[in-house]
Amino acid sequence: MQLNDLTAISPIDGRYRSKVDALAPYFSEYALIKYRVKVEVLYFIALCEIPLPQLKEVDHGVFDQLKAIYENFSEADALKIKEIEKVTNHDVKAVEYFIKEQFDKLGLSQYKEFIHFGLTSQDINNTSIPLSTKDALEEVFIPYLKEIHQLIGAVAKQWETIPMLAKTHGQPASPTRLGKEIEVFVSRISGQLDQLNDIIYAAKFGGATGNFNAHYVAYPDNDWHAFGNKFVSEKLGLKRSFPTTQIEHYDQFAALFDVIKRINTILLDFSKDVWQYVAMNYFKQKINPNEVGSSAMPHKVNPIDFENAEGNLGIANALFEHLSAKLPISRLQRDLTDSTVLRNVGVPVAHTLLALTSLKKGINKLEVNEQAIRKDLDDNWAVAAEAIQTILRREAYPNPYEALKALTRTGDKITRETLHTFIEGLDVSASIKEELMQITPFNYTGK
C-alpha cells in the first residue's frame, strides 16, 4: 500500500497530519537528515576558520555556497542520501558521502576528507537532534502553548466576577469564583513556562569517547575542547556537555521532557475540570449546525474537544515518561538503544500540539451558563455555615461550630429562611445578627 493519510499506521501521520504538519520540518526523517547535513557543513567551516594547515587555502567566499547545501536541502537530496544508506548501511556515513559529492561539484575535492574529520556519528546525532528539537519548540510548540496559556488567562479574566459553588470531594463547599478557579491553571502553567524557558539544550561533541582522541593525535597543539565549546555554542546555539562518554548523557533532555510532561498534566487537569463543568451544565457549548454529537442521539453536544485533549495529553506523557527515564541510561561507553528512541522525540510533541489545538477549539466554544451556576448556589445555602460560625467564633459565642453542625447535618435542605431563622434565635446583638444576615452563597467568595 502507498503511504498516505489513510494508510499511515500512526494517526499523527494519518488522521491528524494536517494539525501537526508544522512539526515535520523538525522531527521527520527528512528533517533529521537535513540537520545532520547542517552540522557537518558548519563543522567543516569551523575547521577552516581555525584554520587547520591543510585548510588555509580554502576561500572563505565559498562558505555561502557550502551553507546552501543545507539551506536549499530538498526532499530529493534526502532521498539521494537514503539511496546511499542502502549501500553503506549507515545513515550518518551516507550524509558524509553526499556532502563529498557536493564538494566535488564545488571544486573542493581536495578538502573533502575533512568532512566528518575526527568525529563519530554521535557527534552529529547528539547535535542535530537537540538543535532540531530546540528549533521546533521555539518556533512552533512554545508559541502555540503560550497562545493557549493566554486564551485560558483571557477567559479567567472574563469570568472573574461570577460566583460559583465549589466542590471538594464532589460535595458542595464554600463558594468561590469561576474566574479564580480558571486562574489557578494560568498560574500553574506560568510557573512551568518559566522552567521551560530555563532548559539548557545540551549536545555532546568530542569524538568517539568524548575526549577528541583523533583530533589530538592529528593536531596535538590545538585546544580541541575550546574549539568544541565554541563550535557548539556559537555555530549551533547549544551548550556542549563535558565530560561525556561516546554519547550525550541526555540529562537536560530528560529535564525538558519532564517539564513538558508537567505542563501536560496541568492541561489534562484543566480538561477534566472543564469536562465536569460541562456535565454540571455550568458551561454550554456553541453549536455548529453541521456537526453531529451522536450517531443515534440527535440532541447531544459532546465536550469532545476536551476529551480529545485529555486522550492525547495522556499518550504524550506516557512517551515523555519513557524518554526521560530511558535516555539517561546507557551501558558503559554506549549502547544503541538511544538511537532508535531518539527518533520518537517528535511523537509526544505532536500529540501535545494536537491536544493544544483541541483545547483552543474547545475553549472558544464555551459559554457560561450563569443561570445554572446561580441555581446551584441558591440550592446550597448550607455553605454559608462556615461564614456564620467564623463570625460567632470572633464574638466568643459558645461552641459555634457545633451549633452550625447540629443545624446543617440533619439531612434536611438548608435554605435562606432556615439560616435566617437560626440567626434570629442566636443570643447576639442586633448588629451582629444584621452582619450575619448579609452573608449569602453569592457573596461569600473571599477575594
Catalytic residue IDs: 169, 294
Whether 14 and 347 have beta carbons less than 8 Å apart is answered as no
Residue corresponding to grid cell 539544550: 201
CA distance 122 to 337: 13
Vertex 365: Cα angle to 360 and 370 (nearest 5): 125
What is the β-pairing status of strands 366-368 and 202-203? unpaired
CA distance 35 to 202: 16
Grid cell for residue 78: 534526502
* Residue 203 backbone phi and psi in degrees, to 5: -145, 140
Beta bridge partners of 163: 177
Nearest residue to 66 (alpha-carbon basis) of 86, 91, 34, 44: 44
**Grid cell digits, residue 106:** 564545488
Q: Mutual orientation of helices 385-394 and 416-424 as an angle, nearest 10°?
A: 20
Secondary structure in 3-state letters for 180-211? HHHHHHHHHHHHHHHHHHCCCCEECCCCCCCC
Closest CA to 341 of 428, 257, 443: 257
